Amino acid sequence: MIGYTSIGVSDMERAKAFYLDLFADKGAKIVSDIGRLAFVGTKRGEPMLAVCEPYDKGDPTPGNGGMVAFTMDSKEEAAAFYHKAISLGATCDGEPGQRIPDRFYGAYVRDLDGNKVCFFVFG
């Protein structure tokens, strides 16, 4: 149902490198790059993350309550992506852990521009 989610960034090259490095093990690549907007994913027709410099040329600002959540195959993978993001310069916004007993496991970071990202597993 979701085609892509966009987040504002202040430095396109830095943002592309961060997300390509972060999702390298998932086969991520730049699917399309049109200058101020680049789509990171595995292929067209699959959900993607778009990193973009704001159209109005203003500062990118993370939304209050806005977040991009990425499904993982296991709790261990969610924790590994959290730690990888931290090693790439992200900051902690909630260490990996069980949030709802037997239902939801999540790990939260803020990317290099402050956008909130979650790596999660249901169950």
CATH number of this structure's domain 1-54: 3.10.180.10
- Domain range annotation of the chain: 1-54, 67-123
pLDDT confidence of 57, banded at 50, 70, 90? confident
Question: Residues 88, 45: contact at Cβ < 8 Å?
Answer: no
pLDDT in tens, 70-118: 999 999 999 999 999 999 999 999 999 999 888 999 999 999 999 999 9
CA 115/CA 17 separation, integer angstroms: 15
What is the architecture, at CATH level 2, of domain 67-123? Roll (3.10)
CA 60/CA 45 separation, integer angstroms: 27
| Reported pTM | 0.88
Residues with Cβ < 8 Å from 1, sequence gap 6 or more?
Answer: none
